[in-house]
Amino acid sequence: MKITDLKCGLIGKNPIVRIVTDEGISGYGEAESYKPYLKPFILQFRDALIGQDPTDVERCMQRIRNRGAFKPYGAPVSVIEHALWDIAGKAAGVPVYKLLGGKVRDKVRTYNGSLRKPLSSLTPEGFAESCAWMLTLPEGFDIIKQGIGFHSPMKTLPGFFYGDAEPSPFHGHADSGPLTERSLSLMVDCVAAMKDVLGDRVGLALDCGPGWLPADALRFARAIEKYNVMWCEDMLTGDYSTHVSAHTYRDLTMQTTTPIHTGEQIYLRNNFRELIETRAVNIIGPDPADVGGIAELKWIAEYAHLHGILMAPHGTGNGVLGLAALIQVCATLPANFIAFEYPSGTDPWWYEIVEGLPEKIVTNSMIDVIDRPGMGVDLIAEAAKRYLAPEDAGFFD
């Protein structure tokens, strides 16, 4: 089998990769809906892959892996890897988890980080109301994640942090500075209000940043220890950060019992090594659509397991094809796996243009592992064509 073409098209908001072969099998991968600008970065790998055997996944990856980088530029390499595994599974007639060593669980746990409604107010009452709404979702999530601090509109509150610059309209590490006493107190009160709603039957994770300075991160983490949150995510570095800062994370982690989590922006196992080997965090959260692919994520999870570090992969924005990739790889992960972040379709019609998903995807926070060949979820070309960007009309030809 040989690759004859690599295509990328926008279906709705999501960049979709299609790898075409000379045996009529196509493989698909999906990047985050937040990254429509990645199309040319994906297509740059076309010449490197045409003529290669897509079922030799690692050989193909060796041709392109070194041309990726931290989020968002790990995504082109990662979603191409997903498409390669999709082809390999379809060619072998088995689900991808079989090619990754086989599943160790029949159901995978997912948590809610994407199904939210806007906060009615940036107050404890507003945060409590949000959690109460999430408890009504039919998926029955037993872990939910709420943005707080710099990973939320709270950063726009007057007097939230000391500094001359107004908060940036772009999400990321550009918003950073010492927090005021009032803002720290407000966030602790919001956590207390959310836990009053959730009790001890639904875990609360906090998506915090990046943007915190170490002293504030420690004060907050210690102040909420009694609430037993699942984790504080990306306090020091994180989404779109260009560095890891393992030493500053280790200082934080060693001084609080609140679990500390990071990793969604990190590309490749090499850049997780110091975090893991120094036990700089309690939990890591690589994204299979940014870290270099699902095989890369599995290696990282196994190495973390050897060091007593837990795994909760990132996934928001990855769409329904990204959901399939998360299901396949998480079925194979060791016992340090907690849950992955549930990605949903950006529009309701997404569930009408794919085949392989059950009518009810999540029950009591769990998803049955899909046993169809490849990634288990496939695009229905005729249905998907109507949502292609006009310039991508030949995507399925």
Task: For residue range 215-236, list pLDDT tens digits in order.
Answer: 999 999 999 999 999 999 999 9
Residue 78 lies in a domain: yes
Q: Let me know whether 338 and 384 are in one domain.
A: no
Return the closest-CA partner of residue 31 out of 64, 8, 56, 61: 8
Q: Let me know whether 200 and 241 are in one domain.
A: yes
> What share of the chain has pLDDT > 90, as a percent?
92
Question: pLDDT at residue 8 above 70?
Answer: yes
Ramachandran region of residue 123, left (φ > 0), alpha (ψ -120 to 50) or beta? beta
Element (H, E) at 211: none
pLDDT value, residue 218: 98
Q: What band does 169 get if pLDDT is binned at 50, 70 and 90?
A: low
> What pLDDT, in 10s, does the model give residues 43-69?
999 999 999 999 999 999 999 999 999
Query: What crossing angle do the helices spanning 214-223 and 246-253 adopt, rounded to 10°?
Result: 30
Q: Which domain holds residue 72?
A: 3-94+380-392
Question: pLDDT at residue 170 above 90?
Answer: no
> What pLDDT, in 10s, does the model give residues 105-138?
999 999 999 898 899 999 999 999 999 999 999 9
Residue 73 lies in a domain: yes
Q: Let me know whether 62 and 118 are in one domain.
A: no
Residue 111 bridge partners (DSSP): 341
Q: Let me know whether 278 and 306 are in one domain.
A: yes
| Beta-strand runs (E) in 309-361 | 310-311, 340-341, 354-355
Element (H, E) at 248: helix 246-253
Number of alpha carbons in the 13 Å side-chain half-sphere of residue 226: 5
**CATH no. for residue 354?**
3.20.20.120
Q: Let me know whether 227 and 308 are in one domain.
A: yes
Residue 361 lies in a domain: yes
Residue 353 lies in a domain: yes
Counted domains in the chain: 2
- Residue 125: CB atoms within 10 A of its CB come to 14
As a whole number of angstroms, the distance between CA 257 and CA 157 comes to 29
Q: Let me know whether 171 and 194 are in one domain.
A: yes
Q: Let me know whether 262 and 168 are in one domain.
A: yes
Contact present, 42 and 79 (Cβ < 8 Å): yes
Number of alpha carbons in the 13 Å side-chain half-sphere of residue 372: 14
Contact present, 59 and 52 (Cβ < 8 Å): yes
Return the closest-CA partner of residue 17 out of 69, 66, 70, 64: 64
Contacts 24+ apart (CB under 8 A), 113-118: 113/144, 113/145, 113/205, 113/207, 113/315, 113/316, 113/341, 113/342, 114/315, 114/316, 114/317, 114/341, 114/342, 114/343, 114/344, 115/139, 115/342, 115/344, 116/146
Question: pLDDT at residue 163 above 90?
Answer: no
**CATH no. for residue 12?**
3.30.390.10
Return the closest-CA partner of residue 73 out of 275, 236, 292, 244: 292
The amino acid present at 130, given as its one-letter code, is S
Q: From residue 307, how far is each of 130, 238, 278, 280, 353 by CA, in Å?
A: 36, 21, 9, 11, 42
Indicate the range of 51-65, 155-169, 302-316 predicted with least confidence. Answer: 155-169
Q: Let me know whether 136 and 203 are in one domain.
A: yes
CA 135 to chain centre: 22
Q: What band does 33 get if pLDDT is binned at 50, 70 and 90?
A: confident
Residue 72: is the preceding peptide bond cis (ω within 30°)?
yes
| Beta-strand runs (E) in the chain | 3-11, 14-21, 26-30, 107-111, 143-147, 203-207, 231-233, 260-262, 283-284, 310-311, 340-341, 354-355, 366-368, 378-379
Summarize the confidence of residues 136-158 as an average pLDDT. 95
Size of the chain, expressed as the number of residues it contains: 397
Q: Let me know whether 106 and 226 are in one domain.
A: yes
pLDDT value, residue 175: 86
- Residue 382: CB atoms within 10 A of its CB come to 9
> What pLDDT, in 10s, does the model give residues 171-222?
656 789 999 999 999 999 999 999 999 999 999 999 999 999 999 999 999 9
Residue 397 lies in a domain: no
Residue 113 lies in a domain: yes
Q: Let me know whether 21 and 170 are in one domain.
A: no
Q: From residue 65, how far is each of 221, 265, 273, 371 by CA, in Å?
A: 36, 16, 17, 28
**How high is the mean pLDDT of the chain?**
96
| Three-state SS at 72 | coil
| Three-state SS at 68 | coil
Backbone angles phi, psi at 325, to 5 degrees: -65, -40
Q: Let me know whether 76 and 150 are in one domain.
A: no
Beta carbons within 8 Å of 111's beta carbon, 6+ residues apart: 141, 142, 143, 144, 145, 203, 205, 312, 338, 339, 340, 341, 342, 365
Q: Let me know whether 145 and 276 are in one domain.
A: yes
Element (H, E) at 181: helix 181-198
Residue 363 lies in a domain: yes
